[in-house]
Amino acid sequence: MSSMQSEMISVVDGIAVASLLLWHGVLGVYVTPTVSQGPTSTKLMFTEFRSETYYLGRSVDLTCTNKTWEEMIHTIWKLKTKTVQCTIASTYELNDYDSCIDGKVLKKSPSGGSYLQIPKFSLSDEGIYDCETVYRGGSYSAQIIVSAEVPPRVSTRVEVRGGQREAVCTAAGGKPAASISWRNTWNSSVTQSSIQNSDGSFTVESRFILPDPVSAENLNCTVTHPSWREGNTEAIHTSNLGEPTASFMLQNSVISICSVILLCGLLTACFIVKTSLRKCSYRVRRPVSHVYR
């Protein structure tokens, strides 16, 4: 057999294998035929497991392998998200396959690599992304758990519960769950709870019992989350019900002083009016002296 005939057979075999692997990927069979062990023998791919997080609203590029586009025979992405299960595939000299039809697309990087692009990452894009790449000389597969990273909304307040004042610090809607700590100089009990919301985010609430008669104005809670480089420190926002602020106390003092001055003025005015009335009454009731000639 001539060298030209051998090259032609190799090309035909490569196209046939690529077509077979594409349909295997679409049907969910992760098996790679290996010519070196005989035309009918197969072996399972080694799968790498990864977890990646991304910010909402940004463009996300998922990479299966660092092999270049020219080296690849086929690439298959199988997606299992909250809303859909679909497949996106590309293979040598065959039409691309896309059952997702939601904007995700296979692209080529400037260096020649291949990646799956999610144009605008949302909570509905979270899920499991299985990728399979067969290239000249080997194969590779990976399972990537893709999740969103959402910073929490932080709020503080003071409540009265069970006859005790409690400083409350809440970190709502964070993914993953946030952590809360307190900056204080008092030995007081702290209770913390965490619940998972319907969208997969978490709401963490921490309660700090305020000893009497300690004010919460100098108390801070610190919330840490992977989406922040540093912890977010929040002062406790007090309410008039359980914790009057310094400005509120000053306002009350001014009102009290003004009230005392006004009351003193009223009493002084009443005293003056009463004294004047007494003098007038005395003059009216004084008897008239008759002079008899």
At the fourth CATH level, the homologous superfamily of domain 3-149 is Immunoglobulins (2.60.40.10)
- For 251-273, what is the mean pLDDT? 65
Structure tokens at 291: 């002079």
Query: 29: which DSSP letter?
Result: -
Domain spans in the chain, listed from the N-terminal domain onward: 3-149, 153-246
Q: Which amino acid is at 54?
A: Y
Residue of higher predicted confidence among 100 and 33? 100
**pLDDT (tens digit per residue) in 113-170:** 889 999 999 989 999 999 999 888 888 999 999 999 999 999 999 999 888 899 999 9
Same fold? 3-149, 153-246: yes
Q: How far apart are CA 9 and CA 11, in angstroms?
A: 5
Could you tell me the strand order of the sheet in which 105-108 lies?
A: 60-68, 113-118, 105-108
At the fourth CATH level, the homologous superfamily of domain 153-246 is Immunoglobulins (2.60.40.10)
- pTM score of the predicted model: 0.59
